[in-house]
Amino acid sequence: MIPQTIIIVVYTIALLLIFLYALAQLNLLFNYISAQKKCDDCSKFDLSNPDEVPYITIQLPVYNEMYVMERLLDNMAKIEYPKNKLEIQVLDDSTDETIESTRQQIETLKATGLDIRHITRTDRSGFKAGALKKGLEVAKGEFIAIFDSDFLPKKDWLKRTVPYFKDKSIGVVQTRWGHINRNYSILTRIQAFALDAHFTLEQVGRNSKGHFINFNGTAGVWRKACIIDAGNWEGDTLTEDLDLSYRAQLKNWKFKYLEDVETPAELPVVISAARSQQFRWNKGGAENFRKMMWKVLKNENISAKTKVHGLLHLLNSTMFLNILIVAVLSIPMLYIKNEYAHLKPYFYVMSFFVVSTIIFFVCYWIMYKKIYGDGIKNFISYIGMFFVFFSIAMGFSLHNSIAVLEGHLGKKSEFIRTPKFNINTLKDSWKNNKYIKKTVSVHVIFEGLLMLYFGFGMYSAFVVGDQGGDFGLFPFHLMLFLGFGYVFIKSLTSKA
């Protein structure tokens, strides 16, 4: 097979897969729009009746959280719930001086009558999953609420989530993440943009039709019996939350997603922290596809549509690989288009796939206007935000594709925590953060080369063809140039 044919075939397959994913997002949009609130008719615990108040354990898995630990514990102490039905477990795998400062703060809180325990381990086997599993062994609660160290639930959080567990088929109640530092920088704004799409369009779109959703690792509550029934926490993937979510739903446990309950949290403010988080999430997604694919396909208790959405959900991160393939091959395709006139009909057909971008544009606008409101001013702001988001997301595609390939190929790696900063009170604390990764990955060099490559793509628009150039792909290459340029420069300079 000649090189041109190989390029065309691979490029076409990647475009088709992106289009398929876009159609799935469109279906989720229709689900989201048509979703009806059923909560008013739900049977709920009456927490004003002492006989209906269940015992709750709050688990706080932490690891070297110098900058946010005091804030976390102070916030947890404000949670409103009967003290005789609440315990807090600080699952502390720390290896630095925070072990002692955390111990002292816990002793102070104990003196107020709070049931709070400091549980430490001599090793980090299983990482976060291992810590959660150890805490579960001695947890008093019938229900387990989990918060990462940068989350700040409001004091009525348990009162708004726990009542739904009166339905004994519900295994998990998950809430929507908020962002206390959304407007800190371009980096935090695009992270918020992506997460908002997940926590509105995707979670509601799937949950409203009974498709599988995921516990997001934090800001949710598990029924202890559900965790045990599903096989307990396992540390063989980097996203233990997604893994246990699918195992639970495959055993017919229901998940309840509460879009109207927001749990504020902090977004990574430096690109090295965002990179480590993105790598873990994307590799973990691929690992779970590898682990769960056949279990989903063979399950006889779920519909074909739920299976399709489930597989596409597990393949979310693999879209980065398809985007990278389309991006890299788009420049040779530009030359092939202008070299082989007989292929013009093919390129006319391929131009149809710009509809994928239009679908994403419409889907994300529905999410954006729900948060910011509609109107022409917000729509203009949205257009700018959409293209900035897409450019930088494509700039992360090499980094995330490497994570995806490692996940699909079964290459194991450590659970790398995301540094926390507490920038809400210390604006520039990230500059001296002791947990920031100081070394630059070799991947960054290739991102710089890709920036130059797509610069060449923009130049090619002026020189190919006989009619003074071909500018059809110029906007695409400009976005790629800017996206890879942003990721490359920020990664070298380590600026927020």
Find, among 464, 346, 326, 338, the residue nearest to 10 by Cα: 326
Q: Annotated catalytic, 93?
A: yes
In whole angstroms, what separates CA 237 from the centre of its chain?
15
Q: Are 243 and 217 in contact (CB under 8 A)?
A: no
In sequence order, what are the residues at sequence separation of 6 or more whose Cβ sits closer than 8 angstroms to the Cβ of residue 293? Answer: 311, 314
Residues in the chain: 496
Catalytic choice (92, 93, 148, 196): 93
Catalytic residue among 92, 148, 150, 241: 241
Kind of pairing, strands 86-92 and 116-120? parallel
The answer for residues whose C-beta is within 8 angstroms of residue 182's C-beta and 6 or more apart is: 188, 189, 192, 267
Q: What is the spatial distance between Cα 219 and Cα 417, in angstroms, rounded to a whole number?
A: 17
Asked whether 84 and 55 are in contact (CB, 8 A), the reply is no
Residue that is written with structure tokens 């059923």 in the block:
38
The answer to whether 242 and 194 have CB atoms below 8 angstroms apart is no
Q: Quick one: angle between helices 442-463 and 397-409, nearest 10?
A: 120
Q: Which two tokens stand for residue 103?
A: 């111990």
Answer yes or no: 260 catalytic: no
Helix (H) or strand (E) holding 146: strand 143-146
Identify the DSSP state of 200: I
Measured distance CA(357)–CA(339) in Å, rounded: 27
H or E element in which residue 223 lies: strand 220-223
By the 8 A CB rule, do 213 and 255 touch?
Answer: yes
Residue 481 near residue 465 (C-beta atoms within 8 A): no
CA angle 49, 54, 55 (to 5 degrees): 135
Torsions phi, psi for 87 (to 5 deg): -130, 150
Contacts of 189 (CB under 8 A, 6+ apart): 182, 183, 385, 388
Say which residue the tokens 């307990």 belong to: 232
**What span, in angstroms and rounded, lies between the C-alpha atoms of 312 and 317?**
9
Q: What SS3 class is residue 466?
A: coil
As annotated, the active-site residues are 93, 241
